Amino acid sequence: MTLKLLSYNIRFGGGGREQALAETIVAAAPDVVVFQEAIDPRVIERLSAATKFPYWAARRSHSIGFLSRQEIEYYEWHYPAGSKHSFLEIVPAGGKTRIFGLHLSARFSKWDERRRTREIRSLLDGIKRHQDGFHVLLGDFNTLAPGEVLELDRLPAWIRGLIWISGRKLQRESIQLVLDAGYGDGFRTLHTDDRGYTFPTWDPHVRLDYVFVPKVFVQRLIKCEVIREPNERIRAASDHCPLVVELNTDDAG
Protein backbone atom coordinates (compact mmCIF):
# COMPACT_ATOMS: atom_id res chain seq x y z
CA MET A 1 0.00 0.00 0.00
CA THR A 2 1.27 3.47 -0.81
CA LEU A 3 0.55 6.93 0.54
CA LYS A 4 1.17 10.05 -1.54
CA LEU A 5 1.58 13.36 0.28
CA LEU A 6 1.82 16.91 -1.00
CA SER A 7 3.39 19.65 1.11
CA TYR A 8 2.32 23.09 -0.08
CA ASN A 9 2.89 26.60 1.25
CA ILE A 10 0.04 28.55 -0.36
CA ARG A 11 1.21 32.06 0.61
CA PHE A 12 -0.96 34.36 2.72
CA GLY A 13 -3.91 31.96 2.78
CA GLY A 14 -4.19 31.38 -0.97
CA GLY A 15 -7.14 33.71 -1.48
CA GLY A 16 -7.75 34.65 -5.12
CA ARG A 17 -5.49 31.84 -6.34
CA GLU A 18 -7.81 28.90 -5.73
CA GLN A 19 -8.02 27.86 -9.39
CA ALA A 20 -4.25 27.61 -9.87
CA LEU A 21 -3.87 25.85 -6.51
CA ALA A 22 -6.66 23.38 -7.26
CA GLU A 23 -5.26 22.57 -10.70
CA THR A 24 -1.82 21.98 -9.21
CA ILE A 25 -3.22 19.67 -6.53
CA VAL A 26 -5.37 17.67 -8.97
CA ALA A 27 -2.43 17.24 -11.36
CA ALA A 28 -0.21 15.95 -8.53
CA ALA A 29 -2.93 13.46 -7.47
CA PRO A 30 -1.92 13.12 -3.80
CA ASP A 31 -3.86 11.28 -1.12
CA VAL A 32 -3.29 14.03 1.46
CA VAL A 33 -2.25 17.66 1.05
CA VAL A 34 -0.57 19.37 4.01
CA PHE A 35 -0.74 23.15 3.70
CA GLN A 36 1.32 25.91 5.22
CA GLU A 37 -0.10 29.45 5.47
CA ALA A 38 -3.62 28.00 5.29
CA ILE A 39 -4.86 30.84 7.45
CA ASP A 40 -8.30 31.20 5.83
CA PRO A 41 -10.56 28.14 6.26
CA ARG A 42 -12.87 29.43 3.52
CA VAL A 43 -10.09 28.99 0.96
CA ILE A 44 -9.45 25.41 2.08
CA GLU A 45 -13.17 24.69 1.90
CA ARG A 46 -13.27 26.03 -1.66
CA LEU A 47 -10.22 23.93 -2.57
CA SER A 48 -11.97 20.89 -1.11
CA ALA A 49 -14.91 21.46 -3.46
CA ALA A 50 -12.73 22.24 -6.48
CA THR A 51 -10.46 19.20 -6.05
CA LYS A 52 -13.20 16.84 -4.81
CA PHE A 53 -11.10 16.02 -1.74
CA PRO A 54 -13.95 15.70 0.78
CA TYR A 55 -11.97 15.78 4.02
CA TRP A 56 -10.32 18.98 5.17
CA ALA A 57 -9.44 21.05 8.19
CA ALA A 58 -8.07 24.53 8.75
CA ARG A 59 -8.31 27.15 11.47
CA ARG A 60 -8.22 30.88 11.08
CA SER A 61 -4.79 32.32 11.76
CA HIS A 62 -3.30 28.79 12.03
CA SER A 63 -0.72 28.07 9.36
CA ILE A 64 -1.19 24.31 8.98
CA GLY A 65 -4.25 22.74 7.38
CA PHE A 66 -4.99 19.75 5.18
CA LEU A 67 -7.08 18.26 2.38
CA SER A 68 -7.57 14.54 1.93
CA ARG A 69 -9.22 12.28 -0.62
CA GLN A 70 -9.44 9.54 2.02
CA GLU A 71 -11.02 9.54 5.44
CA ILE A 72 -8.94 10.87 8.31
CA GLU A 73 -9.11 8.93 11.55
CA TYR A 74 -7.63 11.63 13.75
CA TYR A 75 -6.10 15.08 13.55
CA GLU A 76 -5.02 17.61 16.14
CA TRP A 77 -3.11 20.87 16.30
CA HIS A 78 -0.32 20.94 18.86
CA TYR A 79 1.30 24.03 20.35
CA PRO A 80 4.99 23.66 21.23
CA ALA A 81 6.24 26.12 23.81
CA GLY A 82 7.86 29.14 22.18
CA SER A 83 6.72 28.25 18.67
CA LYS A 84 5.26 30.85 16.32
CA HIS A 85 3.11 28.22 14.58
CA SER A 86 1.32 25.12 15.79
CA PHE A 87 2.03 21.80 14.13
CA LEU A 88 -0.66 19.45 12.90
CA GLU A 89 -0.82 15.71 13.53
CA ILE A 90 -2.81 13.73 10.94
CA VAL A 91 -3.61 10.01 10.93
CA PRO A 92 -5.30 8.66 7.78
CA ALA A 93 -7.94 6.02 8.44
CA GLY A 94 -7.05 2.37 8.00
CA GLY A 95 -3.34 2.69 8.66
CA LYS A 96 -0.75 3.45 11.31
CA THR A 97 1.14 6.18 9.51
CA ARG A 98 1.30 9.53 11.31
CA ILE A 99 1.87 12.76 9.45
CA PHE A 100 3.24 15.81 11.22
CA GLY A 101 2.85 19.03 9.25
CA LEU A 102 4.86 22.02 10.37
CA HIS A 103 5.85 25.54 9.46
CA LEU A 104 8.88 27.00 11.21
CA SER A 105 9.52 30.68 11.80
CA ALA A 106 10.73 32.64 8.78
CA ARG A 107 13.65 34.96 7.94
CA PHE A 108 17.36 34.34 7.63
CA SER A 109 19.31 35.48 10.68
CA LYS A 110 21.04 33.74 13.55
CA TRP A 111 18.29 34.92 15.91
CA ASP A 112 15.55 33.40 13.76
CA GLU A 113 17.53 30.18 13.40
CA ARG A 114 17.77 29.96 17.19
CA ARG A 115 14.00 30.26 17.33
CA ARG A 116 13.63 27.51 14.74
CA THR A 117 15.89 25.23 16.77
CA ARG A 118 13.66 25.80 19.81
CA GLU A 119 10.61 24.96 17.72
CA ILE A 120 12.22 21.77 16.39
CA ARG A 121 13.27 20.67 19.88
CA SER A 122 9.71 21.23 21.13
CA LEU A 123 8.27 19.29 18.19
CA LEU A 124 10.65 16.35 18.62
CA ASP A 125 9.98 16.27 22.34
CA GLY A 126 6.23 16.33 21.73
CA ILE A 127 6.28 13.33 19.37
CA LYS A 128 8.72 11.13 21.31
CA ARG A 129 6.02 8.55 21.95
CA HIS A 130 5.79 7.95 18.18
CA GLN A 131 9.51 7.56 17.54
CA ASP A 132 9.34 3.81 17.03
CA GLY A 133 6.42 3.92 14.60
CA PHE A 134 6.36 4.98 10.98
CA HIS A 135 5.77 8.71 10.73
CA VAL A 136 6.58 11.65 8.48
CA LEU A 137 7.62 15.24 9.19
CA LEU A 138 7.00 17.65 6.35
CA GLY A 139 6.47 21.29 5.63
CA ASP A 140 8.17 24.64 5.22
CA PHE A 141 11.23 24.66 7.49
CA ASN A 142 12.34 28.14 6.39
CA THR A 143 16.01 27.23 6.61
CA LEU A 144 18.80 25.41 4.81
CA ALA A 145 20.21 21.98 5.44
CA PRO A 146 23.93 21.62 6.21
CA GLY A 147 25.98 21.62 3.03
CA GLU A 148 23.27 23.24 0.91
CA VAL A 149 24.47 25.99 -1.42
CA LEU A 150 23.13 29.48 -0.70
CA GLU A 151 23.47 31.96 -3.54
CA LEU A 152 23.63 35.16 -1.51
CA ASP A 153 23.66 37.45 -4.54
CA ARG A 154 20.19 36.18 -5.51
CA LEU A 155 18.61 37.00 -2.15
CA PRO A 156 16.75 40.28 -1.57
CA ALA A 157 18.93 43.04 -0.14
CA TRP A 158 17.06 43.08 3.18
CA ILE A 159 17.75 39.37 3.74
CA ARG A 160 21.43 39.84 2.87
CA GLY A 161 21.45 42.67 5.40
CA LEU A 162 19.97 40.45 8.11
CA ILE A 163 22.62 37.82 7.48
CA TRP A 164 25.36 40.43 7.55
CA ILE A 165 24.32 42.08 10.83
CA SER A 166 23.77 38.71 12.53
CA GLY A 167 27.29 37.50 11.95
CA ARG A 168 27.70 37.26 8.16
CA LYS A 169 27.08 33.53 8.26
CA LEU A 170 23.79 31.69 7.96
CA GLN A 171 23.25 29.32 10.87
CA ARG A 172 21.91 25.84 10.00
CA GLU A 173 21.28 24.10 13.32
CA SER A 174 17.58 23.28 12.99
CA ILE A 175 17.86 20.80 10.11
CA GLN A 176 20.92 19.25 11.76
CA LEU A 177 18.82 18.68 14.88
CA VAL A 178 16.32 16.68 12.83
CA LEU A 179 19.07 14.63 11.23
CA ASP A 180 20.74 14.01 14.60
CA ALA A 181 17.39 12.84 15.99
CA GLY A 182 17.49 9.91 13.57
CA TYR A 183 15.62 11.21 10.52
CA GLY A 184 16.51 10.97 6.86
CA ASP A 185 16.01 13.85 4.44
CA GLY A 186 13.55 12.38 1.94
CA PHE A 187 14.49 14.49 -1.06
CA ARG A 188 18.22 14.30 -0.51
CA THR A 189 18.05 10.53 0.08
CA LEU A 190 16.67 10.06 -3.43
CA HIS A 191 18.44 12.94 -5.17
CA THR A 192 22.13 13.62 -4.66
CA ASP A 193 22.62 16.03 -7.56
CA ASP A 194 19.30 17.89 -7.86
CA ARG A 195 19.41 20.89 -5.52
CA GLY A 196 15.67 20.67 -4.96
CA TYR A 197 14.99 24.40 -4.89
CA THR A 198 11.43 25.21 -3.83
CA PHE A 199 11.47 29.00 -3.40
CA PRO A 200 10.62 31.43 -4.90
CA THR A 201 8.64 30.03 -7.82
CA TRP A 202 9.69 32.83 -10.19
CA ASP A 203 13.42 32.26 -9.51
CA PRO A 204 13.96 29.06 -7.47
CA HIS A 205 17.28 29.20 -5.64
CA VAL A 206 16.56 28.06 -2.05
CA ARG A 207 15.32 24.74 -0.66
CA LEU A 208 12.99 25.57 2.22
CA ASP A 209 10.49 22.69 2.00
CA TYR A 210 11.40 19.25 3.36
CA VAL A 211 10.10 15.82 4.18
CA PHE A 212 11.76 13.63 6.81
CA VAL A 213 11.20 10.00 7.77
CA PRO A 214 12.99 8.00 10.47
CA LYS A 215 16.22 6.61 9.01
CA VAL A 216 15.12 3.07 9.83
CA PHE A 217 12.26 3.60 7.37
CA VAL A 218 14.04 5.38 4.49
CA GLN A 219 13.57 2.29 2.33
CA ARG A 220 9.86 3.16 2.32
CA LEU A 221 10.57 6.25 0.21
CA ILE A 222 9.35 5.62 -3.32
CA LYS A 223 9.45 9.13 -4.75
CA CYS A 224 10.13 12.67 -3.60
CA GLU A 225 9.93 15.47 -6.16
CA VAL A 226 9.61 19.23 -6.37
CA ILE A 227 6.77 20.19 -8.72
CA ARG A 228 8.03 23.00 -10.96
CA GLU A 229 5.89 22.58 -14.08
CA PRO A 230 3.88 23.97 -15.67
CA ASN A 231 5.85 27.04 -14.66
CA GLU A 232 3.11 29.57 -15.38
CA ARG A 233 0.57 27.81 -13.16
CA ILE A 234 3.05 27.11 -10.36
CA ARG A 235 4.03 30.78 -10.27
CA ALA A 236 0.40 31.89 -10.30
CA ALA A 237 -0.50 29.59 -7.40
CA SER A 238 2.12 30.49 -4.79
CA ASP A 239 5.68 31.61 -4.08
CA HIS A 240 6.60 28.03 -3.04
CA CYS A 241 6.82 25.03 -5.33
CA PRO A 242 4.94 22.09 -3.80
CA LEU A 243 6.84 19.01 -2.67
CA VAL A 244 5.37 15.55 -3.34
CA VAL A 245 6.43 12.34 -1.60
CA GLU A 246 5.22 8.80 -2.16
CA LEU A 247 5.69 6.22 0.59
CA ASN A 248 5.29 2.50 1.02
CA THR A 249 3.17 2.08 4.15
CA ASP A 250 3.00 -1.73 4.22
CA ASP A 251 3.58 -3.08 7.72
CA ALA A 252 3.99 0.43 9.08
CA GLY A 253 3.59 0.40 12.80
More confident residue, 217 or 109: 217
Residue 253 lies in a domain: no
Q: How far apart are CA 137 and CA 144, in angstroms?
A: 16
Radius of gyration in angstroms for the set of CA atoms belonging to the chain, rounded to a whole number: 17
Residue 207 lies in a domain: yes
Residue 156 lies in a domain: yes
Confidence of residue 156 (pLDDT cuts 50, 70, 90): low
Could you read off the pLDDT of 11-24 as tens digits, one per residue?
Answer: 999 999 999 999 99
- In terms of residue numbers, what domain contains 180? 2-248
- Split into its structural domains, the chain has a count of 1
Residue 16 lies in a domain: yes
Could you read off the pLDDT of 79-113 as tens digits, one per residue?
Answer: 877 677 789 999 999 888 999 999 987 765 555 77
Could you read off the pLDDT of 26-85 as tens digits, one per residue?
Answer: 999 999 999 999 999 999 999 999 999 999 999 998 999 999 999 999 999 998 776 777
Residue 151 lies in a domain: yes
Residue 88 lies in a domain: yes
Residue 135 lies in a domain: yes
Q: How far apart are CA 53 and CA 47, in angstroms?
A: 8
> What pTM did the predictor assign?
0.91
Give, for 32, the enclosing helix (H) or strand (E): strand 32-36
Q: How far apart are CA 216 and CA 132, in angstroms?
A: 9
Residue 87 lies in a domain: yes
SS3 content of the chain, % helix, strand, coil (to 5): 30, 25, 40
Q: What is the CATH number of the domain that holds 40?
A: 3.60.10.10
